[in-house]
Structure 1
């Protein structure tokens, strides 16, 4: 990691520590937008990392942006940070202006959205479910196909019919209907590298990275609590059974971070589909093992509103199932591996791990 990357992570950590407190997260779950947090991230250029300065971005690489997203996951940031970063990557790829305002993304992988070119623009119609932070966004970047190939459009949210929904972490996951919305030509453009599939994989990687941040937080909280809570005259961190469970949790967090880092490097190298599938599977498994341990060590207090553990664990339960759960990606990965010739399996595995 170079010096610039370290500065980016340290800056993100400082912003989150100061402006993404437990009270801010609690208030956001009750409907208050944390605008000070958002504005600070925008002012420091965190929303445009991975985009060159010539295109209006902050330079840096995809890994730098994903590191910021990981920090946001650690602090349970209740804002569409990752969605806006992804939206800006897509807009930049399409040669459209990027934005510092909240955005979200719809990838037309299920073919429920149609793009029709007209003389005065494009008509977009269709619907999407569980769109992250749609109600909190200024615009939605819609990725799909047209007669001219892969395409992206920036659609104002006030033109969409948005029905509120939420996940277990009380994050907005909304039903969006685009009913014959006319979008001007300057807000629609062809894509070069991104398409529906790449957007889907990018979203899966982003959720995976957020989960590793949340896993890191529950490990830190669990270790700290075990050193504070006393039982039978000594801290529970002194009990072998507790030490063993924390060791298992630490192992799961380390494995999750290792596979996520592998996927991040492969993604920045230009592809990483296989690594992203494996990372989403493995990090989901880490959440399944790690969350019960964290709550067992904390006892009943970890479930209460007064303690911040539940912010991370509710997000882990939610993010585990978003952008494809372990079963979805395992089936896709398994089907790909079944198509390999027997002598190709080992070279395939070693090529993936050597990224």
Structure 2
């Protein structure tokens, strides 16, 4: 039922014009207001915390649906930030929120200062869930200024922020924001790949070359099967990351996130190739998903960080411990 409500909301407000505006850096206040009215920023909270009390499967379905619609606003970041705040006993966000880790910030003399790079929609956030070492800070909008504008590969704002804030809201860190961000990105990737597969199936079924639909060519059928395989892997990987995050297992998050990110790159390449030149253009909706996949693949740690984390654990486990490590993920 919740998924149907979200679907209707996004169908009403997230058309090509809205997507285009977001890619020009314009905030979508009407869409955000409806997102808040529906309670989505609290969706990952338990009922006792004021949230929906969703099961793991229901929460994953919501996150994948937001990926399937290439939601441009920081809804999933706000959901994950509010979950961190609730667990830590900090006030929830009163608007959109961001997630970040910046261990080089300085907490001295009751002030937190330093730079946080490339925060999604940083100029439009109410607050930031910011980890420094083992501490979670709830930094309000008055606690930072934008020092450098930036955009992501899907043309949305990613400014760098200069934090200069008198600390008044902090708590021990429940779990790393990078792990939370990587997990929600994995679910978004699975949703976007589902949309890309549907579009690719439709295009290859209706596009005729040499007297027959593209889909009738065996090599195209092989590529479609590979794309479907990447979707299946991303879906399973996101579930793995979500389960691992719930039990506080960063290694499981690393494994799930890394496989989802690999699927993002592979799937975007196949979908683009199957569409041909039109798949690269802004006139075709495929670019909403391929550019989102490339963006989400590289955020909240990126492939290198999570691959390094996994590789280090494998080396430390040694020959006798490697297989038990794998089976416990």
How high is the TM-score relative to the length of structure 1? Answer: 0.86
Mapping 1:53-92, distance limit 5 Å: 53-61=47-55, 64-92=58-86
CA deviation vs aligned residue, 1:258-295 (integer Å, no higher than 9, x gap) = 12112212322x12322221122212222222222211
Q: 1:341 to 1:163 in 2, by over 3 A?
A: closer
Which residue of 212, 216, 221 corresponds with 1:243?
A: 221
Which residue of 95, 103, 120 corresponds with 1:101?
A: 95
CA contact (8 A) 1:135 1:164 kept: no
Q: Any gaps of 5 or more consecutive residues in structure 1?
A: 1-6
CA contact (8 A) 2:186 2:237 kept: no
CA contact (8 A) 1:134 1:162 kept: no
Which residue of 109, 112, 119 corresponds with 2:104?
A: 112
Give the stretch that moved more between structures: 233-242 or 59-68: 59-68
Q: 1:294 to 1:161 in 2, by over 3 A?
A: closer
1:221 paired residue number = 199
1:190 paired residue number = 171
Count residues with an aligned counterpart: 329
Which residue of 304, 307, 310 corresponds with 2:284?
A: 307
Mapping 1:138-153, distance limit 5 Å: 138-145=126-133, 150-153=135-138
Mapping 1:23-34, distance limit 5 Å: 23-34=17-28
**How far did residue 128 of structure 1 move?**
0.9
Q: Any gaps of 5 or more consecutive residues in structure 2?
A: none
CA deviation vs aligned residue, 1:105-138 (integer Å, no higher than 9, x gap) = 2223xx2222346xxxx42211111112101212
Cα distance in 2 for partners of 1:75, 1:243 equals 25
Q: Does 1:316 align with 2:293?
A: yes
Cα distance in 2 for partners of 1:152, 1:105 equals 10
Cα distance in 1 for partners of 2:37, 2:297 equals 31
**How far did residue 251 of structure 1 move?**
0.9
Q: 1:236 to 1:79 in 2, by over 3 A?
A: same
1:125 paired residue number = 113
Q: Secondary structure at the match of 2:89?
A: coil
1:169 paired residue number = 154
Mapping 1:328-339, distance limit 5 Å: 328-339=305-316
